Amino acid sequence: MTGCSGLLGGWLVEELADRGAEVVGLLRDRVPGSRLLLEGIHERITIVPGDVRDRDVLERVVNEYEVEVVFHLAAQTIVRIANRNPLSTFESNVAGTWNMLEACRRCSTVEAVVVASSDKAYGAQEELPYTEDAPLIGRHPYDVSKSCADLIAQAYHATYSLPVSVTRCGNLYGGGDLNFSRLVPGTIRSLLNGEAPVIRSDGAFVRDYFYVKDAVLAYLALAERMLDGEACGRAFNYSNESQVTVTEMVREIARVAGRPDLEPLILDEVTNEIPAQYLSAQRARSELDWAPRYDLDSSLEETVAWYGRYLSSAAGDS
């Protein structure tokens, strides 16, 4: 697995280990605050230092550990960083993807490769919700990096019959995301500190917010179907199919956190982001018999509780 120290990666590693899988995780940076290290999940898997930009390392790991299923999650995921530094984003998200796919193509043990794309790969479109048949027309650096990685993955299946499929999720959230510039963790931290949450946009942007535990089960459902010889070469949207504006999301978090009195501060300073994005998950529901298990209230309750414990512990250590 690549990206094992990220939000989705940490939860996916834990679930795989719980199921008795032998997990090999590629780790570029040792991030002390990540769930992978913070909660001791790394002790249950094999960690290999490396970077997805190094194809030789990827090929060695996949071959030496006789990897059967690859979850390729590694990416630079912050839109404002992509706008500020597009080359590093392209190197991680695009070159990292083709390096991973090429390593898998050259290893006979690989039976399934799940590549994490994003709803951002679709770019801005008039017809919503996105379906998997919509064109991939990202225009800004992060969106373009996801469009490219997505198309490259499809090319490896079409050209080389590599057993690869693509996931396209909405905005993931859940305990363990320590990038507090993101809406959900930043809002929760502000609220728990008794401060007004900050919205960088005008608050009217519409998004799919997708709980990380539902994403884990979605990825595993897809991988299992691929091992059964189904779903390869396909892309799947995953979503609760419940869209909210940024302001609505912040107010819902405030309600769950018990601080509805703290009104958000709206900065309206965002550029190069798509105003409205949301997904149809009909294909995953019908072809994979998949459905989300968590609603917004229950998932936010778990998420707020996780950050409450984390921030209390961090305060106690300081």
pLDDT per residue as tens digits for the range 291-307: 999 999 999 999 999 99
Q: Pull the structure tokens for residue 45.
A: 């898997």
| Residue 169 CB coordination number (10 Å) | 23
pLDDT level of residue 318 (50, 70, 90 thresholds):
low
Separation of alpha carbons 280 and 32, rounded Å: 36
pLDDT of residue 233: 97
Tens digit of each residue's pLDDT (9 = 90 or more) over 205-230: 999 999 999 999 999 999 999 999 99
- Model confidence pLDDT, tens digit, residues 10-27: 999 999 999 999 999 999
Lowest mean pLDDT among 72-86, 126-140, 185-199, 304-318: 304-318
Any idea where the domains of the chain sit in the sequence?
7-173+210-240+277-293
Can you tell me whether residue 107 is helix, strand or coil? coil
Q: Is residue 209 annotated as a catalytic residue, yes or no?
A: no
The CATH number of 7-173+210-240+277-293, from 3.10.20.30, 3.40.630.40, 3.40.50.720, 3.40.190.10, is 3.40.50.720
- Full-model pTM: 0.95
**Residue 264, Ramachandran bin (φ over 0: left; ψ between -120 and 50: alpha; else beta):** beta
Name the residue type at position 113: V
Residue 257 has a pLDDT of: 97
Angle formed by the axes of helices 246-256 and 296-317, to 10°? 70
Altogether, the residues listed in the chain come to a count of 318
**For 126-185, what is each residue's pLDDT tens digit?**
999 999 999 999 999 999 999 999 999 999 999 999 999 999 999 999 999 999 999 999
Residue 93: band (very low, low, confident or very high) from pLDDT cuts 50, 70, 90: very high
- Distance between CA atoms of residues 140 and 123, nearest Å: 8
pLDDT at 30 over 80: yes
The whole-number pLDDT of residue 270 equals 82
- Arithmetic mean of pLDDT, 273-289: 94
- Report DSSP state, residue 251: H
The answer to whether the CB of 290 falls within 8 A of the CB of 221 is: yes
pLDDT for res 190: 98
User: Could you give the CA distance from residue 7 to residue 96 in angstroms, rounded to a whole number?
Assistant: 18
Q: Which of 296, 263, 31 shows the shortest CA–CA distance to 170?
A: 296
Q: Which of 142, 173, 211, 294 is catalytic?
A: 142
The pair of three-digit structure tokens given for residue 280, joined into one six-digit string: 């149809």
| Contact call for residues 168 and 238 (beta carbons, < 8 A) | yes
What is the rounded CA–CA span in Å between residue 312 and residue 290? 36
Mean pLDDT of the chain: 95
Write down the number of H helices and E strands in the chain.
Answer: 12, 11
Q: What is the mean pLDDT of residues 57-62?
A: 97
The per-residue pLDDT for 64 is 97
pLDDT band at 313 (very low <50, low <70, confident <90, very high): confident
Residue 98 above 60 pLDDT?
Answer: yes
pLDDT of residue 317: 67
pLDDT at residue 79, rounded to an integer = 86
